[in-house]
């Protein structure tokens, strides 16, 4: 059996432990607000942000004010809705935002907020604040996520790039939540032509000798759905760049043609020159012998 002083020490230690776990008066009277950490909604739909106050211990305490705030992308808060137990609701957008259950004369333990016609700009962190008559306040934070299928647009870039080469490409811009998972390029008549090379969200168009007149379609998908956009592209034909072997062949053909023309010209010149000499020998006006003298000489050589 343990000595009496040992039992007394154990009893005191147990009492101290019990006192350390017991709630203080401030903790017992704390304002507890319950709300989910995350709520999901789809574009254009209606969503409710739940917020509930745990029943108050004392009947002398009552809710005096409910306030919903949201943080913008820069972290600055703005008031979405307020409710005063003597005045009622104050809401900047009453056509789209309303309290689900808060009414004049109610206990205001349900501070849930309803938002209609969700847009991408509604996605943010929302804080539900509940104030009671003893100047105490409790709050809870909820992140509203707005999911929507890709909203697609196409931009055309046509420029002269390095080495004076013309660069033409289409860029498919998609805004969605969650992020896009795939990009699919096609045309209104079916698959892509050989001169169109897909590179993810970009489409590289290689110029051809023929006129290009094609409508391209970009189709983007994510976990919510699919969106698409079309653009008609018209580009003039342009000579294709030659490979080294084709370039050498073309240069050789050009040189051969020049040599052939030069030789033909020399041949024609030589022939014309010989004909000119023949005519000068036959004509006295050009310094040739007189036919009459030639006839006299011929007769002088004949016997009588």
Residues 226 and 251 in one domain: no
* pLDDT computed for residue 243 by the predictor: 45
Domain count, the chain: 3
When mean pLDDT is compared across 101-115, 146-160, 205-219, 284-298, the lowest value belongs to: 284-298
8: in domain: no
Residues 40 and 115 in one domain: yes
Residues 184 and 274 in one domain: no
Structure tokens given for 56: 């108050």
Residues 143 and 153 in one domain: no
77-84 vs 63-71, strand pairing mode: antiparallel
* pLDDT computed for residue 239 by the predictor: 56
For residue 40, give its domain range. Answer: 31-147
| CB of 216 closer than 8 Å to CB of 202 | no
pTM above 0.75, yes or no: no
Which pLDDT band holds residue 149 (cuts at 50, 70, 90)?
Answer: very high
Residues 122 and 35 in one domain: yes
Pick the more confident residue, 280 or 8: 280
DSSP calls for 102-149: --TTS---B--EEE-S--GGG-EEEEEEEEETTS-EEEEEEEEEEEEE
Structure tokens given for 292: 């009459």
Q: Give yes or no for a cis peptide into 178 (omega within 30° of 0).
A: yes
Residues 213 and 253 in one domain: no
Residues 217 and 231 in one domain: yes
6: in domain: no
Residue 74: give its domain's CATH number. 2.60.40.10
Residues 120 and 166 in one domain: no
Pick the more confident residue, 210 or 161: 210
44: in domain: yes
18: in domain: no
79: in domain: yes
Phi, psi (degrees; rounded to nearest 5) at 241:
-70, 140
Residues 221 and 266 in one domain: no
69: in domain: yes
Angle at 132 between CA 126 and CA 133, to 5 degrees: 155
Residues 132 and 187 in one domain: no
158-171 pLDDT tens trace: 876 555 567 789 99
Residues 88 and 165 in one domain: no
When mean pLDDT is compared across 72-86, 110-124, 156-170, 184-198, the lowest value belongs to: 156-170
């Amino acid at each position: 059996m343990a000595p009496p002083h040992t039992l007394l020490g154990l009893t005191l230690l147990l009492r101290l432990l019990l006192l350390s776990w017991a709630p203080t008066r401030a903790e017992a009277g704390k304002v507890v607000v319950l709300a989910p950490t995350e709520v999901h909604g789809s574009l254009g739909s209606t969503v409710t942000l739940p917020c509930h106050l745990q029943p108050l211990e004392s009947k002398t305490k009552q809710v005096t004010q409910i306030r919903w705030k949201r943080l913008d992308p820069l972290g600055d808060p703005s008031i979405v809705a307020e409710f005063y137990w003597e005045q009622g609701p104050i809401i900047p957008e009453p056509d789209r935002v309303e309290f689900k259950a808060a009414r004049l004369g109610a206990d205001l333990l349900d501070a849930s907020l309803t938002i209609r016609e969700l847009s991408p700009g509604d996605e943010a962190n929302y804080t539900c604040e509940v104030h009671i008559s003893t100047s105490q306040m409790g709050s809870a934070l909820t992140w509203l996520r707005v999911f929507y299928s890709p909203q697609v647009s196409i931009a055309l870039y046509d420029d002269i790039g390095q080495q004076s080469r013309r660069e033409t490409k289409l860029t498919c811009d998609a805004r969605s939540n969650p992020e896009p998972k795939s990009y699919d390029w096609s045309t209104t008549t079916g698959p892509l032509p050989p001169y169109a090379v897909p590179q993810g969200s970009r489409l590289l168009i290689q110029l051809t000798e023929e006129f290009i007149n094609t409508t391209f379609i970009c189709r983007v998908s994510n976990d919510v759905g699919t969106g698409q956009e079309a653009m008609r592209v018209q580009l003039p034909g342009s000579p294709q760049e030659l490979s080294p072997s084709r370039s050498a062949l073309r240069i050789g053909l050009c040189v051969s043609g020049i040599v052939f023309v030069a030789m033909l010209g020399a041949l024609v010149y030589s022939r014309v020159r010989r004909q000119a000499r023949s005519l000068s020998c036959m004509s006295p006006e050009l310094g040739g012998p007189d036919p009459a003298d030639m006839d006299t000489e011929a007769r002088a050589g004949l016997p009588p």
